[in-house]
Structure 1
């Protein structure tokens, strides 16, 4: 990573950004597809800053998505984590135009106060993030966006904490990963600032952030009730111990194209397939539904019905 945020040890411990060649990545994806993998996730600390010159051509992340979209057997392509200032229009348009690209972005805001973002050395303002979100909403309506936040960072006040709460309400993140600040030796924040905010204050602010985020998540998830979503089935859910009467059905879990967790009852053999699920209930973290009957291809020679 080349960003050098004041609280983070990654640039000093793992070194500068390096982008693997498109040829190498594409070869690995094809091997995974041959092994039956249906979804690939491209990983990087700031993955949307990907760039690599191959055979005299500069490839960016949007170009990489186009290449992977052509790989037979792959149904979904995701990437994490993204940096706000590197969220280019060509990347958003690639997600819009490619059927296998998921409409989900993980783009950490980290804080809702410009003064704290400056102390964090994040390199952008809340206004910059707002402009990015406007482009996301214009080009990718319905796209889910998740965020990271740090509470209790040096320089955070009650007033700036309230701005973080307001940012969750404004941007309506699908979910947020919220962390209490802890001093990391070797970081600029540890060198320049004392960790003076009491742990009980950090814990309270953390819980307040979670409460607001859970409310937003459940409100937005409720918009899926009565709708059908396409789900890439991962397999039995954690609570799938209870069989449904005499059938082979049990509770399965998968993810929608906008990365929402979906649970429903169905045949365990659905793992790895795409299924249509109608949503009838929600929690802040999960869509709950029933599978819509259809045929799915189990192997080259047979098709099996999906259980309702």
Structure 2
């Protein structure tokens, strides 16, 4: 009698991601893992820990800090780094503002678009041959054009028509000094996959991913938290609402959604029923055309 074993959907995704991490560690010098404390980067780190266990993760985690982060997320980032004994490298957007390399449009303007300069500077300073990112297949269309191993030239630029084939899960990470590879271990995952995996693996997340009462204002069709970066205008009235965050980014442009989902099980059910992508619903800075996002990626945006 022949005995066969069929991997579950999540097991297949996990195995593919673990393979990608090990392939990079074996073939590319000086990788780094982008870690913001957001759910995708948390899952990515969890997979990296699994890939090399019981050895420690053999590369540092990297955070491009806009200076406008949610306090809960920064606290979680630092706690997680300490828990795993990781080396944390932080590139500060404020350093590039102070040096005159980038400029804010106005006080407390969203800094998402300024991150590209800081990311490229951090990659160059630490001579990373590869940087892991958490882009998924169900995000906006420009991200979906990425390969798993996405080649970037010596200027950090991305050319979607000049990428390498990836037949039979064979990846080519060869590059010259100054060039680098952006690697996306979650390329075949969706938001629902991420939350299903969080539920299965009992992965800890920042508290703002679950329903909590928060003071918000409604602006541009989104619920923005009132904080030191977002203050009500003369015609806005803040109100308390039960909300959670589907994605975490710059606090000046990341909106919350009304929700009572306070457990992973409840979030899985909520995400399964959602018909709007997380970024389309909650990231003001991402509400640009596909061509606009592609242009940003060509300049070096992750």
TM interval, short-chain normalised: under 0.3
Q: Which structure has greater strand proportion?
A: 1
TM-score by length of 1: 0.26
TM-score by length of 2: 0.27
Higher relative contact order (CA 8 A, sep 6+): 2
Q: Which has the larger radius of gyration?
A: 1
